[in-house]
Amino acid sequence: MHHTPPHARRRVFLQGIGALSLASALSGCGVGELLPGQGPPPRLFRLSPKSTFDADLPTVDWQLVIEEPISPTGLSTTRIPLQRRAVELEYYARANWTDRAPAMVHTLAVESFENSNRIVAVGRESLGLRSDFILKLDLREFQTEYSGKGPPDAHVRLNAKLVQMPQRTIIGSQRFTRRITAKADTLEDIVEAFDDALGKVLKELVTWTLKSGQAARR
């Protein structure tokens, strides 16, 4: 009787496992679907900071630190979320933000305060800025929502708390929310709706923060 050496049996076994794994992977892909790593890379999109403000915005002589927003796990990603049902979050295929949503909103908030030219200094907590106030943010909504047959709404909601230092006293809290309907159900129009909604939220955030902080300093 012919006996196969143990190392040869092991090699045949591993080859069989490899073939089985590939067959399993292929069986999960329908005709025309791509295996991971194939096809074009995702398109990358970014939003813009707010740069125009009302003339009555106060000029302040204090410093502000803005913390990165906390957010639900489903929003803390570079993927662009969409919602067709209240209990389910999906994502657009091959379309990403240039950064995680909370980090992107954080950067745009800092830049919006800088663009106002109404504050001595504003920065991130990581820079070690000695601040008079800390702005704590909570990104609650940052997705498109489909409610009918038409284009979706870009829904942005940001909750804010303004903390006075060094007492660490919360002097105010506010919720900022906007829904903007996209002109069409295309990625370009959806990103434009996001940009419009976030821009309005950031304008209100800057205005509320500067007025609330100034009132607390009097």
CATH number of the domain where residue 85 is located:
3.40.50.10610
Residue 209: inside a domain = yes
Nearest to 50 by CA among 119, 124, 110, 102: 110
Q: Which residues of the chain have pLDDT under 70?
A: 1-38, 126-127
Residue 1: inside a domain = no
- Distance, CA of 169 to CA of 11 (rounded, Å): 68
- Distance, CA of 40 to CA of 59 (rounded, Å): 48
Residue 69: inside a domain = yes
The predicted structure's pLDDT at residue 123:
92
Residue 201: inside a domain = yes
Type and span of the H or E element at 145: strand 133-145
The predicted structure's pLDDT at residue 20:
32
The predicted structure's pLDDT at residue 40:
84
The upper half-sphere exposure of residue 139, i.e. CA atoms within 13 Å in the direction of its Cβ, equals 25
116 in Cβ contact with 206 (< 8 Å): yes
Tokens of residue 146, six digits: 């489909």
Residue 94: inside a domain = yes
193 in Cβ contact with 180 (< 8 Å): yes
Residue 116: inside a domain = yes
Contacts of 112 (CB under 8 A, 6+ apart): 49, 50, 51, 202, 203, 205, 206
Residue 127: inside a domain = yes
**Structural domain containing residue 150:** 43-47+59-217
64 in Cβ contact with 205 (< 8 Å): no
The count of domains in the chain is: 1
Instruction: Provide the whole-model pTM.
Output: 0.81
The predicted structure's pLDDT at residue 129:
72
CA distances from 153 to 81, 85, 88, 181 (A): 12, 13, 16, 4
Question: What values do phi and psi take at 207, rounded to 5?
Answer: -60, -50
Tokens of residue 31, six digits: 């005709």
Q: What ranges in the chain are assigned the alpha helix state H?
A: 6-27, 101-116, 187-217
Tokens of residue 67, six digits: 């913390």
Residue 105: inside a domain = yes
The predicted structure's pLDDT at residue 218:
77
